[in-house]
Amino acid sequence: GWCPLSPAGAQSTQLLVEPPWRPAVLWDRVTLTCQGSGTASATTWYKDGRRWGQEGRDHFIVTERGTYTCERPGSGLSPPVTVSDERLVLQVPARALLEGDTVTLRCRR
């Protein structure tokens, strides 16, 4: 059945981050992939709230810091992903974490 701990329903648009660590940093060569209903050519990208010129692509390597979202007709707008250029970050795995989970942290500089 439906699990309330999983806010992403089957029909929602998701923005996948590779490598799967948060916060995402430019110097990791971050790839963003938009997943949702419809075809890749129907993807609309937004950077910092403004429509952004990656139309018709479902993934790309990030070259500028900012907050990214993508949209697919039929499944809507994805949650935002922020990519920073901080020189020192403490990263956690980019997945849902529950109390009691064992977590690997990465201190990156």
pTM value is 0.81
**Helix (H), strand (E), coil (C) string for the chain:** CCCCCCCCCCCCCEEEEECCEECEEHHHCCEEEEECCCCHHHCEEEECCEEECCCCCCEEECCCCEEEEEEECCCEECCCEEEECCCCEEEEECCCCCCCCCCCCEEEC
Range from 29-33, 59-63, 96-100 carrying the lowest mean pLDDT: 96-100
| pLDDT of 10 | 54
The pLDDT tens digits of the residues spanning 78-95 come to: 999 999 999 899 999 887
Domains located in the chain, CATH noted: 14-96+103-108 (2.60.40.10)
